[in-house]
Amino acid sequence: MKAMPATILDTIGGTPLIPLRRIAPATGARILLKVESANPTGSMKDRMALAMIGAAEADGRLPPGGAVVEYTGGSTGVSLALVCAVKGHPLHIVTSDAFAREKLDHMRILGARLDVIPSESGRMTEKLTRDMIAAAGGIAGRIGAFATDQMRNTDQLAAYRRMAAEIDAQAGGPVAAFVQAVGTAASLRGIGAALRATQPGIRIVAVEPAESAVLSGGPTGAHRIDGIGAGYVVPLWHPDIADAIEPVATPEAQAMALRLAREEGLFAGSSTGANVVAALRVAARLGPAATVVTVMCDTGMKYLGTLGPLAAAA
């Protein structure tokens, strides 16, 4: 019998890995989905938030009761709000109206103070990302807060190496490819490096919005896939992270999110939809014996305002 958790933070991780049944390539290849919605806030970002705050507390960068500041599209902010609430750190979040209202409300409920920057018609752009980063830096300097700075913070990689160990233990055999969307690039970098160490020959595939396919060498643009596609090549990215890059358009990602709910009972957001679109492409190329692992990044409950109208119109 497992020991009783001391706090909600002790329930982070250990999420299930399940096969898709109806949404599968015609070749017969197997797609496994790491269900990160099972984390306390319904997001894989709980892992990295705990790692970043824990590391800063351990080495003295974040004293007891010290304030924290971050720029975020929502999921990281919600996860930091959870961790900071439990650990007693005031949290200041810079975000935007481009992101799901449900995420912003969740952060406020958990006690975070929000600075909301207006977007261009509710779309994610490079300028918006850079404006949020600058605003967070200004707050950190003004109040003396610890900036988690997710775009540059390598403390989070340890959390994703642990996630890779879970995948290794759960997959039940060799994994031919791991597919993951790129926001900060930390999850792809941490999981990919750890899986390469234990799974010789595995292909690591990055996913980005087709409308802003900067990792593929395309121009920056605007898209509506929450949590990914900053609009520029992020600092934690380097060319050796991925063997291939799959651009996925916003409508494709949203349509797949609805399919996952209706055909698999898995209610996720559009970043997960993008992951599954790309995983299907990769699996079709690898053949019938292949196992492809991808990630259900978070719960669709964070996107009711976005996906609900699409479902009603479908």
54 and 118 housed in the same domain: yes
The answer to the question of residue 3 being in a domain is no
We report the CATH number of the domain holding residue 88 as 3.40.50.1100
Q: Where are the beta strands (DSSP E) in the chain?
A: 17-19, 30-35, 68-71, 91-96, 113-117, 146-147, 177-181, 203-209, 244-248, 291-296
- pLDDT-based confidence at residue 168 (cuts at 50, 70, 90): very high
176 and 230 housed in the same domain: yes
178 and 296 housed in the same domain: yes
Is the pLDDT assigned to residue 74 strictly greater than 90? Answer: no
The answer to the question of residue 131 being in a domain is yes
Please give the DSSP secondary-structure letter assigned to residue 262.
I
132 and 114 housed in the same domain: yes
Is the pLDDT assigned to residue 153 strictly greater than 80? Answer: yes
Percent of the chain with pLDDT over 70: 100
185 and 307 housed in the same domain: yes
| Among 122-136, 164-178, 275-289, the least confident range | 122-136
pLDDT of residue 1: 63
Summarize the confidence of residues 201-210 as an average pLDDT.
Answer: 97
Domain of residue 276: give its range: 8-38+160-313
pLDDT of residue 73: 77
- pLDDT-based confidence at residue 100 (cuts at 50, 70, 90): confident
Integer Cα distance of 192 and 187 in angstroms: 8
252 and 274 housed in the same domain: yes
Summarize the confidence of residues 5-19 as an average pLDDT.
Answer: 97
- pLDDT-based confidence at residue 122 (cuts at 50, 70, 90): confident
100 and 247 housed in the same domain: no
Q: Which pLDDT tens digit goes with each residue over 221-269?
A: 999 998 899 999 999 999 899 999 999 999 999 999 999 999 999 999 9
299 and 233 housed in the same domain: yes
179 and 129 housed in the same domain: no
131 and 185 housed in the same domain: no
64 and 210 housed in the same domain: no
* Among 147, 176, 201, residue at a domain's last position: 147
81 and 214 housed in the same domain: no
Integer Cα distance of 223 and 81 in angstroms: 26
Q: Give the total number of structural domains in the chain.
A: 2
Length of the chain: 314
* Among 147, 181, 211, residue at a domain's last position: 147
- pLDDT-based confidence at residue 313 (cuts at 50, 70, 90): confident
